[in-house]
């Protein structure tokens, strides 16, 4: 039974050093059939170990594998997606963090996972606040650029008007006087 093997390995992994644990988990993942949903559990654990080792890029890879497996098997818990969202937020990718956390929250509400919804609230409020702040900053930048363009258009129109008056004045001074 693959699930029993995973549980045994989890107990063994808990007693190992982190690098040994990663090697053991990666070895176990390679032996699991790809269509089985056991891989999501192993990938989540491996991601957690990489986070403890301060290797967020490697953790993100395994959280992604686990999140994809969750979605392929209709798991609405999204523990890996939540951790991936938090990791992306810490790396400055606020937009994707917001999208992933929003997905987690919607699925928690749909599935009636009240505890998961409550757990997500703290993280999503921080991410939503940062996301909204980012949108406000982008809107301010857009307004500034539009304001500058507007001022330049007015300056160009005034210059064109002055040039037309100058040309008009020059035209009348060059015309012979009629008698």
pLDDT digits (tens, 9 = 90+) for 32-51: 665 556 778 878 888 888 88
Contact partners, residue 41, CB within 8 Å, separation at least 6: 6, 66
Could you tell me how many residues make up the chain? 179
| pLDDT attached to residue 152 | 93
Kindly write down the DSSP assignment for every residue of 70-93, as one continuous string.
HHHTT----HHHHHHHHHHHHTT-
pTM score: 0.58
pLDDT higher than 80, residue 127: no
Q: Look-up: residue for tokens 């959280």?
A: 63
The per-residue b/e assignment along 58-91, b for 16 or more CB within 10 angstroms, e otherwise, is: bbbbbbebbbebbbeeebbebbbbbbbbbbbbee
Q: Give the tens place of pLDDT for each residue, 7-36.
A: 555 555 555 666 776 676 677 767 666 555
Using the predicted structure, report yes or no on whether residue 150 has a pLDDT greater than 90.
yes
Contact 24, 11 (CB under 8 A): no
Which of 122, 117, 126 minimizes the C-alpha distance to 88? Answer: 126
Neighbours of 51 (CB within 10 A): 18
Lowest mean pLDDT among 70-84, 86-100, 159-173: 159-173
**Distance of alpha carbon 79 from alpha carbon 120, whole angstroms:** 10
């Amino acid at each position: 039974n693959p699930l029993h093997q995973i549980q045994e390995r989890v107990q063994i992994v808990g007693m190992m050093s982190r690098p040994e644990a990663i090697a053991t988990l990666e070895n176990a993942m390679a032996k699991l059939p790809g269509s089985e949903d056991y891989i999501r559990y192993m990938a989540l654990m491996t991601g957690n170990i990489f986070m403890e080792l301060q290797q967020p890029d490697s953790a993100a890879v395994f959280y992604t594998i686990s999140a994809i497996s969750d979605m392929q098997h209709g798991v609405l818990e999204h523990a890996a997606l939540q951790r991936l969202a938090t990791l992306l937020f810490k790396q400055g990718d606020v937009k994707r963090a917001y999208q992933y956390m929003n997905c987690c929250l919607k699925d928690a509400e749909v599935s009636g996972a009240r505890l998961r919804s409550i757990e997500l609230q703290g993280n999503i409020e921080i991410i939503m606040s940062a996301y909204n702040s980012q949108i406000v900053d982008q809107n301010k930048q857009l307004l500034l650029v539009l304001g500058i363009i507007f001022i330049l258009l007015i300056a160009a129109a005034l210059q064109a008007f002055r040039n037309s008056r100058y040309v008009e004045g020059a035209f009348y001074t060059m015309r012979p006087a009629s008698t």
